[in-house]
Chain A
Amino acid sequence: MRRLVSLLGLFSLGTALAQEQDPATIAWLLVSTSFVFFMVIGLAFFYGGLVRRKNALNTMMMSFISLGIVGITWAVVGYSFAYSGDGLLIGDFGYFMLNGVGLEGETIPTILDFAFQGTFAIITAALISGAVVERMRFSAYMLFITIWSIFVYAPMAKWVWGGGLFENLAGNAAIDFAGGTVVHINAAISAVVLALIIGKRKDYGSKAMLPHQVPFTLLGAGILWFGWFGFNGGSAYAADNLAALAMTNTLLAPAAAIVVWALLDMFRTGRVTAVGLATAVVVGLVGVTPAAGVISPMSAIIIGAIATIPSYFFITWRGSSSLDDSLDVFGAHGLGGITGALLTGIFVSSAWGGDVNGSASQLLTQFLAILIAIAYSAVATFLIAKFVSLFVPLRADDSLEAQGLDIPMHGEEAYTDGEGALLIPVSSSPAAARVAGRPAGGKV
């Protein structure tokens, strides 16, 4: 009987909600959330293919661990810091432990907003890993993204989307449709700072470190693009014409980026490269992200084309510099994000979903938002990295780096045929196995 009552209760609650919330928007955001989630898997493959085979698992795990860690920090306090309260810089504890995040909500249930935004937080943290692969200690990385997701990502999401700082900069609201600043510039600056603190890989500059599985990288870029339809399209927060515009622009900007990148490749080397094309896709996507739902489709093509140029030349130069941003997080996400955010101030159009038209003062606002994001991201990352290094060294030992991090960090290999593998009886203690697993040391 009690059960029946509660069922009836739920039923009536459901009807009440259906009347005030918009089922089409809910459906679209359910889909978009899954799409953005899938981007994390795409990123794992994109990055995983670019490293040497001895680090393939470690690199992919850096994305997968974010699904766990940031998923939880977002639930505990991240969402609250990003969306609760009237704070200019950071939210309060109003949604602490998902308190008050429920089925109610104006057009969509708050719980869906939480989940959709959670996938953004997860992928942003994972993006950082590209700059520190093949040498960062996994435990240090875990601790780093735990703190970073709470104290860097969440406050910046508050500035951009939670009614915070960026609502009024030099008289305008900074325009960031789907997170060019909080996701891409933020992750890229943190990535560079972390890479500088940790230092370059031992083999950097002296040995050729080639991608071990370029098809993974193409697959990853494709999945990222696919997921980005939810990233940008879902950011319209409605199943409406603006979502349609955002999706169309998400199709066109990377298309233009591919063409420009391919032409630059042809002009420079005579050949169109696969890794280059995969990178172009990401640059085009990053470039259009802040503008997706506020510019015309032709502007999206122009943004995709223009954003490619600084990234292309920076990435070409970076390989010969001493900056070991290993997988070019800054070249792709940083420069693409900055170019896109600036061009948003020029191309924003009230005929295409924007609240304003492009102007010099809007451009100035965009510029200020970028500067603030860069400054905060850099300083906070530096402090967090120093804090983490008090507890665990950021970098793996040189001998482990030479061996590759898959076996020492994870006890597994990406590609093994099991030759020479002897079973250890289950009764052996895990501790004994762990000690034996240490690679350095004398004879057994």
Chain B
Amino acid sequence: MKLITAIVRKEKLNDVLSALFENNIHGITVTKVQGHGGETEKVETYRGLTVKMELSEKFRLDIGVTDSFVDKTVQTLITSARTGEVGDGKIFVLPVEKVYRIRTGEEDAEAVTPVLVGV
């Protein structure tokens, strides 16, 4: 069991989501986050006030997967989120001790296997 956490560009979120769905990766939590990943700061000017925006808005995706799904998920993320410019984001793969599905009490692999309803 692994938890894959990806930080991606705001404007790439739609591409990333469609790519994940195409590859049958469905259990995703998305959070709007801000951070600094070494990209060039944006300078903005509001009349006399000039500021450097140190933080860029990004999206963070959290995806729980079984070990056999890790490579596919990571490759899908890399391909769909990449632009080649600094600031494309990061992917972290973390070990997971236990997963429960709240609705059924299923554990681990069963808990992260999506049930497709009404497709």
Contact = CB atoms under 8 A, between A and B. Distances in A.
A14 B42 CA distance: 56
A442 interface: yes
Given A407-B44, A442-B86, A424 B14 contact: no
B40 A436 contact: yes
A420 interface: yes
A418 B106 CA distance: 44
B14 A207 contact: yes
Nearest to A438: B40
Given A420-B55, A423-B51, A441 B40 contact: yes
Given A402-B11, A421-B54, A443 B86 contact: yes
B93 interface: no
B67 interface: no
Nearest to A52: B11
A198 B34 CA distance: 33
Given A419-B34, A434-B43, A443-B38, A428 B14 contact: no
Interface of A is mostly: loop
A411 B36 CA distance: 19
A424 B50 contact: yes
Interface string A413-444: 10010111111101010000110111111111
B40 A407 contact: no
Contacts of A418: 51
Contacts of B48: 426
Contacts of A350: none
B79 interface: no
A436 B44 CA distance: 10
Contacts of A412: 44-46
A19 interface: no
B52 interface: yes
Interface residues of A, number: 31
Nearest to B49: A423
A420 B40 contact: no
B41 interface: yes
A208 B17 CA distance: 13
A441 B41 CA distance: 10
A403 B34 CA distance: 15
Contact of B11 (A403, A411, A421): A403
A416 B56 CA distance: 11
Given A411-B44, A440-B85, A422 B38 contact: no
Contacts of B52: 421-422, 424, 436
A437 B42 contact: yes
A422 B11 contact: no
A402, A416, A420, A444, most chain B CB atoms within 10 A: A420
Nearest to A425: B50
A419 B86 contact: no
B51 A422 contact: yes
Given A423-B51, A428-B50, A443-B38, A411 B43 contact: yes
A125 B38 CA distance: 41
A420 B14 contact: no
Interface in A203-224: 207-208
Interface in A225-245: none
10 contacts: A208-B14, A419-B55, A421-B54, A422-B54, A423-B49, A433-B50, A438-B40, A439-B42, A440-B40, A442-B40
Interface of A: 207-208, 399, 402-404, 407, 411-413, 416, 418-424, 426, 428, 433-434, 436-444
Closest 5 CB pairs of A and B: A420-B55, A437-B43, A421-B51, A420-B54, A424-B50
